[in-house]
Protein backbone atom coordinates (compact mmCIF):
# COMPACT_ATOMS: atom_id res chain seq x y z
CA UNK A 1 0.00 0.00 0.00
CA UNK A 2 1.39 3.43 -0.97
CA UNK A 3 2.07 6.09 1.61
CA UNK A 4 -0.66 8.71 1.18
CA UNK A 5 1.01 11.20 3.50
CA UNK A 6 2.45 14.24 1.66
CA UNK A 7 6.19 14.81 1.73
CA UNK A 8 7.08 17.75 3.97
CA UNK A 9 10.15 19.85 3.08
CA UNK A 10 11.46 22.54 5.43
CA UNK A 11 12.32 25.57 3.31
CA UNK A 12 15.58 27.44 3.76
CA UNK A 13 15.86 30.70 5.70
CA UNK A 14 15.80 32.90 2.58
CA UNK A 15 12.65 31.22 1.21
CA UNK A 16 10.91 31.44 4.61
CA UNK A 17 11.70 35.15 4.92
CA UNK A 18 10.43 35.79 1.38
CA UNK A 19 7.14 33.91 1.88
CA UNK A 20 6.53 35.43 5.32
CA UNK A 21 6.31 38.86 3.67
CA UNK A 22 3.61 37.68 1.25
CA UNK A 23 -0.12 37.33 2.03
CA UNK A 24 -1.59 34.03 3.16
CA UNK A 25 -4.03 32.19 0.92
CA UNK A 26 -5.88 31.05 4.02
CA UNK A 27 -5.27 30.81 7.75
CA UNK A 28 -1.67 29.59 8.13
CA UNK A 29 -1.02 28.51 4.55
CA UNK A 30 -0.09 29.74 1.09
CA UNK A 31 -0.65 28.14 -2.31
CA UNK A 32 2.55 28.45 -4.34
CA UNK A 33 4.07 27.56 -7.68
CA UNK A 34 7.53 25.98 -7.60
CA UNK A 35 10.12 26.30 -10.38
CA UNK A 36 12.89 23.73 -10.31
CA UNK A 37 16.45 24.37 -11.45
CA UNK A 38 15.81 22.14 -14.49
CA UNK A 39 12.96 24.45 -15.56
CA UNK A 40 10.10 22.16 -14.54
CA UNK A 41 7.16 23.84 -12.80
CA UNK A 42 5.02 22.35 -10.05
CA UNK A 43 1.91 24.46 -9.54
CA UNK A 44 -0.59 24.82 -6.72
CA UNK A 45 1.41 23.39 -3.83
CA UNK A 46 0.78 24.17 -0.17
CA UNK A 47 3.23 25.87 2.19
CA UNK A 48 2.36 25.84 5.88
CA UNK A 49 3.30 28.85 8.03
CA UNK A 50 5.67 30.11 5.28
CA UNK A 51 8.01 27.30 6.33
CA UNK A 52 6.99 23.79 5.22
CA UNK A 53 6.30 22.80 1.61
CA UNK A 54 3.87 19.87 1.30
CA UNK A 55 4.24 17.77 -1.84
CA UNK A 56 1.50 15.30 -2.73
CA UNK A 57 2.89 13.52 -5.78
CA UNK A 58 6.39 14.84 -6.40
CA UNK A 59 9.60 13.63 -4.85
CA UNK A 60 11.97 16.58 -5.01
CA UNK A 61 14.56 17.97 -2.63
CA UNK A 62 15.09 21.49 -1.37
CA UNK A 63 18.25 21.73 -3.49
CA UNK A 64 16.24 21.30 -6.70
CA UNK A 65 14.07 24.38 -6.04
CA UNK A 66 15.01 27.48 -7.98
CA UNK A 67 12.02 29.72 -7.24
CA UNK A 68 8.88 29.82 -5.14
CA UNK A 69 6.07 32.29 -5.80
CA UNK A 70 2.43 32.65 -4.86
CA UNK A 71 0.11 30.89 -7.28
CA UNK A 72 -1.72 33.16 -9.64
CA UNK A 73 -5.41 32.49 -9.48
In-domain check, residue 62: yes
Contact 30, 19 (CB under 8 A): yes
Q: Is the pLDDT of residue 1 over 60?
A: no
Specify which residues 68 forms β-bridges with.
Answer: 34
pLDDT, tens only, 13-72: 999 999 999 999 999 999 999 999 999 999 999 999 999 999 987 889 999 999 999 998
The confidence score (pLDDT) of residue 3 equals 59
In-domain check, residue 30: yes
- Give the Cα separation of 67 and 6 in Å (integer): 20
Q: Tell me the residue range of the domain where 17 lies.
A: 7-70
Contact 70, 63 (CB under 8 A): no
In-domain check, residue 2: no
Q: What residues have CB less than 8 Å from 13, skipping those under 6 apart?
A: none
Amino acid sequence: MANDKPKKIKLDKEQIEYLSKLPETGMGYQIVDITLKNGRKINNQTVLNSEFLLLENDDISLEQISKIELSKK
